[in-house]
Amino acid sequence: MTGGAGFLGSHLCDRLVEARNEVLCVDNFFTGTKRNVAHLLGNPYFELQRHDVTFPLYVEVEQIYNLACPASPIHYQFDPVQTTKTSVHGAINMLGLAKRVKARILQASTSEVYGDPEIHPQVEGYWGRVNPIGIRSCYDEGKRCAETLFFDYYRQHRLDIKVVRIFNTYGPRMHPNDGRVVSNFIVQALKGGDITVYGDGQQTRSFCYVDDLIEAIIRMMKSGANLPGPINLGNPSEFTMLELVEKIIGFTFSKSRVVHLPLPSDDPRQRQPDITLAREKLMWEPKVSLDDGLKETIAYFRRVLSDAGP
Ligand code: NAD
Ligand code: UDP
Ligand code: UDP
């Protein structure tokens, strides 16, 4: 598992260790933290290795989940060249590893490959509308190039690949300062500071709770070899950012004010996954409502912000 000490990776480690798989978690701790996997450190099924995926990795494994990559705009824009390297060199190294040891390999791709979409909801066959030279490009184009590499290794070297396109996912262990909207709004609401809505707040996203997403990723990894993807994974219920604020203020009983800040450039206006393929091929659909997921996430951030820790 690359990126295994991050938000999604640590939940995946939990699930795989629980099912008695031997997990090697590889992470350079750029956005992830040892704390996310600290509870697994003494477990004989778990091993943690500090490593940057832009460098080669020689280990013996049967399956690879490639999640390494900062996922929030603040973090992936901090060192954009490193972001592209992580996606592209990281993919090459992990594909080279998969080729050598004949491992099945899953890529955590993203709805960002669709850019600011003209097709709504987004289907896997849509090629996207992505700015190649903007401030989000290091992430979007890095992930697009990684998909290209996965499909070229699939065609050229007959690799057993799985590509999932993950839509906005939230839940416990999100980084409190990573700038993503759910963590930002919750932390701001709990601290009673201003809640920062970018633009008019009418842009939409569709939020998936982490447990639902992890279940889908595991199902994809277990699926037949005739399903390389790409496959959309996410929750199709779509909300505006103003609707999201309203829910979070309601659930936290916060006195915070809403302030509007400029919309960052290339910020997609709308996003909603079409998950017909996942429903048909993985027999999967999300179960956790936004209300329930937000309540769990708020409870987590309350613990993080208190002295007790998570
Ligand atoms: P995250 O930032 O919490 O996790 C990413 C992990 O990768 C971190 O632990 C980080 O330290 C590690 N990492 C970064 N660069 C690395 C490198 N060069 N070498 C080794 N490790 C490195 O983010 P996340 O939300 O858990 O995302 C995990 C994956 O899922 C990412 O690939 C992301 O692009 C993808 N994804 C996430 C979402 C979402 O909503 N959370 C949506 C779409 C795609
Ligand atoms: N690689 C790796 N671990 C391995 C095998 C390969 O990290 O176990 C890296 C290696 O650095 C190489 C890359 O994966 O550059 C791509 O490997 P591949 O065999 O596809 O290409 P080549 O070695 O011919 O460039
Ligand atoms: N956003 C916002 N306030 C914040 C953080 C984000 O209004 O404090 C908006 C952001 O402009 C975007 C949406 O929320 O329209 C989702 O942002 P996020 O960074 O979570 O995900 P992404 O844009 O990558 O989907």
Give the integer Cα–Cα distance in Å for 139 and 128.
14
Q: Considering every ligand atom, which ligand is closest to the CA of 147?
A: 1
Q: Considering every ligand atom, which ligand is closest to the CA of 142?
A: 1
Q: Which amino acid appears at position 41 of this protein?
A: L
Q: Which residue out of 69, 72, 175, 180 has the highest number of ligand 3 atoms within 8 Å of its CB and is therefore the one to mutate?
A: 180
Closest CA to 141 of 183, 112, 173: 112
Given a contact cutoff of 8 angstroms between Cβ atoms, the answer to whether 47 and 24 are in contact is yes
- Residue 214 is predicted with a pLDDT of 98
| Nearest atom within ligand 3 for CA of residue 263 | 11
Query: Annotated catalytic sites, by residue?
Result: 139
Q: Is the minimum distance from the CB of 73 to ligand 3 under 6 angstroms?
A: yes
Q: Is the pTM of this model over 0.85?
A: yes
Partners of 106 in the beta sheet? 65, 162
Q: Is the minimum distance from the CB of 75 to ligand 3 under 6 angstroms?
A: no
Give the integer Cα–Cα distance in Å for 230 and 221.
12
Q: Is the minimum distance from the CB of 96 to ligand 2 under 6 angstroms?
A: yes
Q: Is the minimum distance from the CB of 136 to ligand 3 under 6 angstroms?
A: no
Q: What are phi and psi of 244, to 5 degrees?
A: -65, -45
| Nearest atom within ligand 2 for CA of residue 57 | 7
Q: Is the minimum distance from the CB of 67 to ligand 1 under 6 angstroms?
A: yes
- Residue 74 is predicted with a pLDDT of 92
Q: Is the minimum distance from the CB of 10 to ligand 1 under 6 angstroms?
A: no
Q: Considering every ligand atom, which ligand is closest to the CA of 90?
A: 1
CA of 144 to the centre of ligand 2 (A): 20
Residue with the smallest CA separation from ligand 2 atom 11 is 56
pLDDT digits (tens), the chain, 310 positions: 999 999 999 999 999 999 999 999 999 999 999 999 999 999 999 999 999 999 999 999 999 999 999 999 999 999 999 999 999 999 999 999 999 999 999 999 999 999 999 999 999 999 999 999 999 999 999 999 999 999 999 999 999 999 999 999 999 999 988 899 999 999 999 999 999 999 999 999 999 999 999 999 999 999 999 999 999 999 999 999 999 999 999 999 999 999 999 999 889 999 999 999 999 999 999 999 999 999 999 999 999 998 666 6
| Nearest atom within ligand 2 for CA of residue 59 | 8
Q: How far is the CA of 69 from the CAs of 64, 129, 218, 275, in angstroms?
A: 15, 21, 19, 24
- Residue 254 is predicted with a pLDDT of 96
What is the three-state SS of the chain? CECCCCHHHHHHHHHHHHCCCCEEEEECCCCCCHHHHHHHCCCCCEEEEECCCCCCCCCCCCEEEECCCCCCHHHHCCCHHHHHHHHHHHHHHHHHHHHHHCCEEEEEEEHHHHECCCCCCECCCCCCECCCCCCCHHHHHHHHHHHHHHHHHHHHHCCCEEEEEECCEECCCCCCCCCCHHHHHHHHHHHCCCEEEECCCCCEEECEEHHHHHHHHHHHHHCCCCCCCCEEECCCCEEEHHHHHHHHHHHHCCCCCEEEECCCCCCCCCCCECCHHHHHHHCCCCCCCHHHHHHHHHHHHHHHHCCCCC
